[in-house]
Amino acid sequence: MSYSLTWLPKVLLEAGLKVAECPGWENCGRAEMGTVEGVLCHHTATVNERGNMPSLQTLIHGRTGKDALPGPLSQLGLGRDGTYYIIAAGRCNHAGPGIWKGVTAGGSHFIGIEAENLGNGKEPWPEVQMDAYVRGVAAILKHIGKSTDYCAGHKEYRLPKGYKDDPNFDMNDFRLRVKAVMGGATTAQKLIPAAELSGKARSTLRRGQANDADLVKQLQQLLKIKMDGFFGPDTESAVRGFQRSAATVPDGIVGPKTWKALDEQSSS
C-alpha cells in the first residue's frame, strides 16, 4: 500500500523541474504522514565533494555509527544539478524536536528536502541547484495551499536553538525568492517535452519512471552499455557522461536534444 505523498513527482514535474524516482519510493516511509503543513529545508553535510547526489543511499537507508538514524531521512533529495530524487511518500526522520508556526511534530507535518552540499561554507551553491530548490518549495507550498511562512530551515525549527545549522544560507532571502516564484514574478521553467515533436517521436526517458523497456534498450545500445531495458543508476550515469561530452546539460534526462545528439554520434 502506497503512502500519501504520491503527488510529489507530478507537482515537481509540472513546475518544470528534473525528477528521478527511487525504486519503491511510494511504499517508503517510517509511517503515514499527517496533514502536510509545510517544508523543512536541509543540506546533507556530505563529505563527498564530487558527484551529483552522493548522499542518496544514506537518505534512503539511514545513518550508521555513533549518530545512527534509520531511513528514510527525507522525502526528497536535491542533487547539485537541480535534480529532485523522490525518496519516500511517507513520514521520514528529518525533523527531530522543534517548533515552527505552532507545529511541533515536524516529521509528521513537514516535507523534508535534503540538498547535496558540504555544508561547511566551502562549497558554493550552484545557481541551477538553488533555483531548483526555490521552485520546488514554491510548487509544494502552492499545492498544499500554504504561504512562504510555512517554509523553514532545519536550523530555524530544531530545538534547542543553535543545535542545527542547516541549510547554510539566509532563509529570509530564500523565502523572498520562493514568494517571487509563487507570485509569478519570475519566469516559469520551460518543461522538457514528453516526446520528440517530429521524426522518430521517441519518448523522454528518465531514471525511475515506468519507461518503455524496448526504448531504453535502444538508448543503451546507442550508449554502448549493457542492454537490460532498465533505466537505473548505471544508465543515468552513462547518459550524464554522454551529455557532458556532447556539451549539453548533464541532467541524466533523455529528451529531444539528447536523442538528437545520440543520433548524430551514431551516424558520424
- The answer to whether residues 75 and 136 touch, using CB atoms and an 8 Å cutoff, is no
Judged on CB neighbours under 10 Å (0-12, 13-18, 19+), 225 is: middle
Q: Looking at residue 15, what DSSP letter applies?
A: T
Parse the chain into domains and list their residue ranges. 8-182, 213-267
3-class secondary-structure state, position 235: helix
pLDDT of residue 4: 97
Taking only the tens place, the pLDDT of each residue in 145-180 is 999 999 999 999 999 999 999 999 999 999 999 999
Question: CATH fold of 8-182, please?
Answer: Lysozyme-like (3.40.80)
Taking only the tens place, the pLDDT of each residue in 94-132 is 999 999 999 999 999 999 999 999 999 999 999 999 999
**The three three-digit cell numbers of residue 112, written as one number:** 523534508
pLDDT band at residue 1 under the 50/70/90 scheme: low
pLDDT at 211 over 90: no
3-state SS, 136-181, equals HHHHHHHHHCCCHHHEEEHHHHECCCCCCCCCCCCHHHHHHHHHHH
Task: Say what the pTM is.
Answer: 0.81
78: phi > 0 → left, psi -120 to 50 → alpha, else beta; which?
beta
213-267 belongs to which CATH class? mainly alpha
Amino acid at residue number 137: V
pLDDT band at residue 207 under the 50/70/90 scheme: confident
pLDDT at 258 over 80: yes
pLDDT at 21 over 70: yes
